[in-house]
Amino acid sequence: MTASIVSTALAAFLLYGAVANAAQSRTGCDVSARTRASRVCDVLARTRAGRVCGVRRCASSSVEYASFRGVPYAKQPLGELRFKELQPLDHWTDVLNATTEGPVCQQTDVLYKGIQTHQGGMSEACIHANIHVPLEALPKSSDSVQTNNSTNGVPIFVFVHGGGFSFGSGDADLHGPEYLVSKGTIVITFNYRLNVFGFLSLNSDRVPGNNGLRDCVTLLRWVRDNAPAFGGNPDDVTLAGQSAGAAVAHLLTLSPATEGLFKRVVLFSGVGNSEFFSTSPVFAKIAADLFLAKVGIKPTLDPEEIHGQLVKMPIDNLMSAHSDLLNLFGFTVFSPVVESTHTGVTTIIDEDPDALIAKGRGRDIPHIIGFTSSECETFRPRFADMDIVETIAATPAILVTPKLTYQTPPATVPLLLKLIEGRYFNESRTLDDFIGYCSDAYYKYPAVKLAEKRAAIGGAPTYLFRFAYGGRRSAIKGALHLDFKGAGHIADITYIFRVNSVLGPLRGNTLDERNEDDEIKNLMTDYMINFMRTSNPTPEGEARSWPTATLPRLHTQHIVSPHEVENCALNPELREMVAFFDGLHHASHGD
């Protein structure tokens, strides 16, 4: 449910509760006592819009932290605001109850299943952030608004969730902050508009596309303005994302709209110049026309008339049409698009991402770029549900990636298809074949190419990694009933965020080195924390250094286990893969 206002009657007790709790001894933390709302407020912060009441929770190593969940960062996009850029919050005078997460944005989940639980429900009124703060970092008083000059605050980790631009959330069921917050950093996760609401583009000022990206910019501006209220340093923000969320994070590094809003970026299994979606306006129009036909709107109508009908249309009609298309497309229907300029709309992507990278956009922002060893194994159940093998047999051209499809003359597509089939498929075309191709085409190649392009341009350092640790108790494999060697999509972030929906209540000192899973958590969180503090992921005193990715031969941090971490040049298999896809791109341009 949405965050609600604590009654005026309770407000008188809030400051007393905060002071009393702060005075308690911190010899340990009682999860059962701290994870439910109290009769008085555990912890308070004063944002620009008003005071928020959070709750103390237990992190790893028996560390307590202040958790503010379901905090709105803009006015909810309801009614006439459905497709508009987010509007500033109205101020409130009472105290906002920020002890539970708000609803997730409207979606059809075709991947996470029980991993994401949507405990707050689902609604268009989903524009909320979750702010998790080391208790000692929280300002001692919330009586006045903190200034923007709190440069002594702790660093901030802002994370953009994945889900193909179609589904997902920032909730703690998958993105539990317990590992990172216990090491002295603020963790912020959030929701942004998805699918139709976040990425449908009619190339008009009423429905311009990229609303989901603009939501992220609004969130980052909110962090800049409100970080000091939570003890954070607004000038020391690290932006991170996974999958589609990583693509979003990378696209934001290429946009003038985000200048000064973050210092560095971490990209887990996704980049803005990826192959699994296309930023082509041609593709955006095809997807929009298909959708409009599904909901009974003529695409040839005036954009103003289309907008009027979409705003008035019941949510169930919109989501039913999107679900139908999602079953056709797989994971992603609407995606970021190169924008035209529209009056009153903040432009995020003003040119093709590859062109922006070549021009040096984002070159001064340190990057960590990563991929897993068996990316698309995580999608095996979804591919089986779609009967992807039969779908390929009926329409082989879908093997050409969305990015390649919309930059290739139609007459060249058969050549690309022949090359792809020659390398990845035998005559029978198995699901295993497709999963191998999907991993290379959609994730590994784009990650390596971005590192290569950044190395060629020069500027801030780039760190590349390949995560292959299969896990003793893999949350993703267990939840999705998967059995394969290595690490699939999402696996790497489960050692940075706690998957609370799968692992259950946190008990004991989970960051003690008791087994390899715990050691990997320590290693991965140490990489993140050190990168946040120094723009270099190698922890101080760590013998296994992580050099930058430089030419002529890119080096990658291969993370196989806590005891098998090596920085070395790309192995022959990866070099051959990169050469193959380079050849595809040359062929697509007639080279």
User: pLDDT tens digit string along 502-542?
Assistant: 998 876 555 454 789 999 999 999 999 999 999 999 977 67
Q: What is the rounded distance in angstroms from the CA atom of residue 223 to the CA atom of residue 581?
A: 39
* Residue 476 confidence (pLDDT) above 90: yes
Q: If we measure between CA atoms, which residue out of 89, 61, 94, 69 comes closest to residue 77? A: 89
Q: What's the rounded Cα separation, in Å, for the pair 339 and 318?
A: 23
Q: Which two tokens stand for residue 380?
A: 């095996």
Answer with the residue of higher pLDDT: 114 or 292.
292
Rounded mean pLDDT, 439-460:
97
Q: Are 64 and 57 spatial neighbours (Cβ–Cβ below 8 Å)? A: yes
What does the pLDDT read at residue 14?
A: 40
Place of tokens 């997460």: 101
| Domain boundaries, position 222 | 1-591
d(CA 232, CA 68): 14
pLDDT value for 590: 67
* pLDDT at site 140: 83
Tens of pLDDT, residue by residue over 539-564, are 776 766 899 999 998 999 999 999 99
- Ordered DSSP codes for 73-132: SS----GGGTTSPPPPPPP-SSEEE-SS--PBPS---SS-GGGS--TT-B-S---EEEEE
pLDDT value at residue 11: 37
Q: 55-58 long-range CB contacts below 8 Å, 24 or more apart?
A: 55/99, 56/21, 56/29, 56/135, 57/29, 57/31, 57/132, 58/29, 58/30, 58/31, 58/34, 58/178, 58/506
How many domains does the structure of the chain reveal? 1
Tell me if 213 sits within 8 A of 349, measured CB to CB: yes
Contact between residue 179 and residue 57 where contact means Cβ atoms under 8 Å apart: no
d(CA 272, CA 352): 10
Compute the distance between CA of residue 546 and CA of residue 555 in angstroms, rounded to an integer. Answer: 9
Residue 588's pLDDT is 85
The pTM score is: 0.93
pLDDT on residue 569: 92
- The b-or-e profile of 447-462 (16+ CB within 10 A means b, else e) is bbbbbbbbbeeeebbb
What is the percent of the chain where pLDDT is above 70?
Answer: 89
Q: Quote the pLDDT of residue 150.
A: 52
- Quote the DSSP letter at residue 397: G
Beta strand residue intervals within 232-337, DSSP E: 232-242, 264-268
DSSP assignment string, 156-214: EEEEE--STTTS----TTTSB-HHHHTTT-EEEEE----HHHHH-B-SSSSSBS-HHHH
Choose the catalytic residue: 64, 339, 375, 519.
375
> What DSSP designation does 492 have?
G
Question: What pLDDT is stored for residue 178 in this prediction?
Answer: 96
Q: Dihedrals φ, ψ of 61, to 5°? A: 60, 25
Mean pLDDT, residues 104-118:
94
- Domain with residue 326: its CATH number is 3.40.50.1820
**CA distance to 457, 459, 551, per residue, from 548 (Å):** 14, 11, 10
Query: pLDDT of 11-59, one tens digit each?
Result: 333 433 333 333 333 335 654 444 444 457 889 999 999 999 999 999 9
Give pLDDT, residue 29.
66
| Weakest mean pLDDT among 3-12, 156-165, 209-218, 473-482 | 3-12
Residues 69-94: what's their mean pLDDT?
A: 97
Q: Is the pLDDT of residue 82 over 90?
A: yes
Q: How many residues does the chain have?
A: 591
Instruction: Give 589's pLDDT tier (boundaries 50, 70, 90).
Output: confident
Half-sphere exposure of 50 (CA within 13 A, CB side): 20
**Exposed e or buried b per residue across 410-428, where buried means at least 16 C-beta atoms within 10 angstroms of its C-beta:** eebbeebeebbbebbbeee
Predicted local confidence at residue 508, as pLDDT: 52
Q: Kindly state the tokens that stand for 21.
A: 């709790």
Residue spans of alpha helices (H) in 425-571: 431-439, 445-457, 475-480, 500-503, 516-534
Residue 105 has pLDDT above 60, yes or no: yes
Judged by DSSP in three states, 4 sits in coil
Please enumerate in sequence order all residues whose Cβ is within 8 A of that of 250, keeping only pairs 6 or more positions apart, or say none: 241, 265, 267, 270, 271, 272, 273, 353, 362, 450
According to the model, what pLDDT value does residue 514 have? 73
Using one digit for the tens of pLDDT, what is the confidence trace for 335-373? 999 999 999 999 999 999 999 999 999 999 999 999 999
Residue 429 tokens read as 């075309």
Rg of the Cα atoms in the chain = 23
What pLDDT does residue 100 have?
96
Candidate list 322, 489, 555, 585, residue with the active-site label:
489
The predicted structure's pLDDT at residue 152: 81
Query: Contact, 104 vs 171, CB < 8 A?
Result: yes
Greatest alpha-carbon pair distance for the chain in Å reads 73
Based on the residue annotation, tell me whether 489 is a catalytic residue of this protein. Answer: yes
For 470, the 3-state DSSP assignment is coil
Residue 243 known to be catalytic: yes
424: nearest Cα among 571, 584, 572, 556: 584
How does the average pLDDT of the chain come out, rounded?
Answer: 90
Q: Is 485 exposed, middle or buried (0-12, 13-18, 19+ CB in 10 A)?
A: exposed
The predicted structure's pLDDT at residue 30: 57
Chain-centroid distance, C-alpha 62: 28
**pLDDT band at residue 7 under the 50/70/90 scheme:** very low
- Of these residues, 38, 67, 243, 280, which one is catalytic? 243
User: At residue 187, what are phi and psi to the nearest 5 degrees?
Assistant: -115, 125
Cβ within 8 Å of residue 95, ≥6 positions away:
5, 6, 10, 11, 14, 41, 44, 50, 51, 52, 53
Model confidence at 381, pLDDT cuts 50, 70, 90, reads: very high
CA nearest 3: which of 105, 89, 72, 76?
Answer: 72
- Of 158 and 428, more confident: 158
